[in-house]
Structure 1
Amino acid sequence: MELRHRALHVLQLTDPEEKAAQALDLHGHAATISIAENTILEPTAPLPGCPARPELRHHTAVARRSPATAAGRAVLIHAIAHIEFNAINLALDALWRFPGMPRRFYLDWLQVAGEEARHFQMLRTHLRSQLGHDYGDFPAHQGLWSMCEKTAHDIVARMALVPRTLEARGLDATPLIQHKLRSVGAPDALAAVRILDVILREEVGHVAIGNHWYRWLCERDGLEPVAHYALLVQRHEAPRAKPPLNTAARRAAGFSQAELDWLEHG
């Protein structure tokens, strides 16, 4: 199958390990695979393919616990693993859903899918080996995918509100999480900090991809990026960034000073 067909197939898989492994395998064939950029595709199963566990709840019904305890760290790492699992789905959805984009667009999101799959595997291994739990042991929410559904028919909104809004919030949150884990000092907590170092570094690249394609689309469609972003946030009720912003990471991901000013002051 071509890249976009396979991306849709992998998106529909329900087994987390199989989905991650196939996303990585697909990324491994990036240099040789045909993309089928202009093909119109239709899902043959519900999207995304979800495992029986974890139980999905509204985000307000998902408990949080202090990382000062091993149980609390397990809940925290599980929540981050769930975000990374969702991020695999988000990248795969961008791959199959939007025809007619340049070849580089699909290769960029293929890279993201592969890296998100590796992040998920790292966190799941940590849960199993360091904390005595597995993915699915705790309830989770589906907030990331709900924005995917809201922007299913607008590629500009998708680029604006998924990578450079929802995923960019991880750039702000990760250093704060790492600080809490370092304060704990337990071996598993410090190991988690090292995993988050890898994830943060690569997530800067993922947000940069979102920024690049958002601006490319705005230029194509004659839109002013900052003003149109404000319109999309209001239209789709997107969550606002929570201070303090990780301005260094956001600049590295391509946010302009005007965009940072808008995020901080609206």
Structure 2
Amino acid sequence: MNFAITIAGSDSSSGAGIQEDLKTCTALGVYCFTVITSVTAQNTFQVTAIHDIPADIVEKQIDAIMADFSVKYGKTGMLSNEDIVRSVSKKISEYDLKIVVDPVIVSKSGAILLREDAVSALKRYLIPVAFFVTPNKEEAERITGIEIKGQKDMEEAARIIHEMGARYVVVKGGHLMGEMVVDVYYDGNIFRKFKFPRINTKNTHGAGCTLSSAIASYLARYDNPIKSFTLARKFMQKTIEKSLEIGHGHGPLNPMYRIWKF
């Protein structure tokens, strides 16, 4: 059986966070363990409250899983404060986990999910132990300090993040303009561009969670970085095509589209 671990926040609307990770991993045939870092009260248009789990409890969740199961791959999502970032980074190193870091900074509705002290900790502690890092335009700008206007800037951001220690970097281009969405993949040697038609929908809540957990799932299955990203990106495209028109804001993707019929 293939295993993955998600270390992320809980989304009460089930469109992002560990709920979306669970759906994605399950859809891709991977058993997913969960470590909850924060509990959020949110829906498709706002986040009304955030409660962070104490860092020592986050660590104990990871320890409990690793004491019983052989887990190699996983992902991180919302790590909202410095203590949690440092604790998770320590455990990634301790257990030699290959982790896809989704550097969640702002929610789809605009809520700040990563405090300023945690941004610095992410760069200092988490990125150096990351296997993959998958920032969108705004996240890459915050991490690198450069303004991203086009593909050359995306390449430069990917190079900087790789130099921070990440093995593989994907700078996502969904927040840039254009009929095609271009993602830049960098392995330290070669830049690869992945192009997909832009889908005209507002229902993209949880897109970053879906992609990162899909990469982790395919890594658990194939242990091949470029193949895993390629399959994960194609899967995410389909989940956007099949996204759900629910709620009054940004509806969620539908990673269970092969199972659920609406």
TM-score bracket for this pair, using the shorter chain length: under 0.3
Higher strand share: 2
Q: Whose radius of gyration is greater, 1 or 2?
A: 1
TM-score, with structure 2 as normaliser: 0.23
Q: TM-score, normalised by structure 1?
A: 0.23
